[in-house]
A = this chain, B = another copy of it.
Amino acid sequence: MAVTIKDIAQKSGVSLTTVSRVLNSSGYVKEETRKKVLSAIKELNYTPSAIARSLSKNKTNTIGVVIPEINNEFYGEIIKGISEVADEYNLNMILCNTDNNIEKEVKALKLLKEQRIEGIIITPTSVEDDFNSEYLITIEQLGIPIVLVDGHVKYADFSGAFVDNIKGAYDSTDALIKAGHRKIGIITGRMNSDAAQNRLKGYKKALALNDIPFDERYVFKGDYSEKLAYKLTKEMLSMENRPTAVFASSNRMTIGCIKAITEEGLKVPDDMALIGFDRIDILNSLGMNISFVDGPTIELGTIAMKILIENIQNEEYFDTKKITIAPKLILKGSERFIKK
C-alpha cells in the first residue's frame, strides 16, 4: 500500500498540515520539526502524488484583516504595522472594512471563512453582540487562528494586542484633576465598543480615587465620529454649571471638540481644558498643544501580526496570548486650569 502523508504525520508526530507545509516548502515550520518530517519521509520512502501537491499548492498564504474604519489614520497605522510583518513572511492580506457595522463585520467573517486563509486579525466593532463572537469561535474551531486588536468580543477568549484603555483614560482624567479641575466632561466612544467602555471606566476610576462624585450629566455619549462629538461639545458648552475640562475618547472626537470650542469663540485651555485619546500628528505639526494619550498604533499591528504568525506556526497547540500596551500620556498644556 502506498505511503500517505498521514503515515508521515504519525511517524513524525506532527499534524497533516505541517507535513504538507514541509512538502511544499510553504513556510512556518520550525527547523526542528522540518527535520523530523524530512527524516520520516526518507524512512518511509514517500513520493507525493500530483493531486496532493496541487491541493497543497492551493494554500493561499493569505490572512484576513477586519477593521471598522479604513479612512481613519488610527487603523491606517495598525494596517501599516500588520503589513510590515506580513511582507517579511510573504503573506497577503485580505482587508475588510466594516464601517463600524456589525452586519458588515459578520458578512466579512463569512467571506473570510470561505477563503483558505491562514488566520484573521480583527478589531471587533462590538463587544456586546453575540454574532461576531459566535462567528469567531466557529472560525477558530476550523483551525484558523484569530487575533484581536484593541477590542474584545463577548464570550470568547482570543489572543490579541491591546491598549490599556482604562489606564489611558485614568491618567488623562487624573491629570485634569491634578491641574485643578473638578468638573470634567467625557465624550465617550460608541458604548457597545470595548474601548469606549474601558475609557469610561478609567474616567470613573480617576474621579473615585480623587473623591470627586461621578455626575451623569457630564457623560456625553458619542460614537467616535467628529460630527457627534462636535454637537455634544456644543451642548456641553451651553449647559449650566458646565465642565471646565473635557476628555475626548478618540482622535476624531478630539477634532470635533476643538472645532466646537473654537467656533464658539472660546479657547483651549483658557475656556475649556482638553485631553484627547490617540495621537493626532497634524495637531503636533501645527503647533497646537493638545495633550493626548499616545498609544503605539503601528506596534499594535506588528504585535498582533507576530502573535498570529506564532499561532500559525505552532498549530498543534497554542496558548492564548494577550499583550496589553500601556499608552503614554503626553502633556502639552491643554490640560491647564485657568481661573476666570
Interface residues on A, range: 35 or more
Per-position binary interface string of chain A over residues 158-200, scored 1 when its CB falls under 8 Å from any chain B CB and 0 otherwise: 0000000000000000000000000000000000000000000
Which positions 269-328 of chain A face chain B at CB distance < 8 Å? 280-283, 285-288, 298
Q: Are A70 and B62 in contact (CB under 8 A)?
A: no
Asked whether A238 is an interface residue with its Cβ less than 8 Å from the other chain, the reply is no
Q: Are A259 and B280 in contact (CB under 8 A)?
A: no
Per the bound structure, the CA–CA distance linking A71 and B79 in Å amounts to 8
Which positions 19-69 of chain A face chain B at CB distance < 8 Å? 58, 60-62, 65
Nearest Cβ distance between residue A117 and chain B, in whole angstroms?
9
Residue of B nearest to A260 (CB): B285
Q: Are B97 and A94 in contact (CB under 8 A)?
A: no
Per the bound structure, the CA–CA distance linking A70 and B79 in Å amounts to 7
Residue of B nearest to A280 (CB): B282
Per-position binary interface string of chain A over residues 241-266, scored 1 when its CB falls under 8 Å from any chain B CB and 0 otherwise: 00000000000000110110011000
Per the bound structure, the CA–CA distance linking A216 and B115 in Å amounts to 54
User: What are 8 A-B pairs at a CB distance below 8 A?
Assistant: A58-B58, A61-B111, A71-B76, A79-B95, A83-B95, A90-B111, A226-B281, A255-B286
Query: Other than the known A83-B96, A259-B287, A286-B286, what 7 A-B pairs have Cβ atoms closer than 8 Å?
Result: A70-B76, A79-B97, A92-B96, A92-B111, A92-B112, A94-B94, A263-B287
- What 8 pairs between A and B have smallest CB-CB spacing? A71-B76, A95-B95, A259-B285, A83-B97, A71-B80, A71-B77, A255-B285, A92-B94
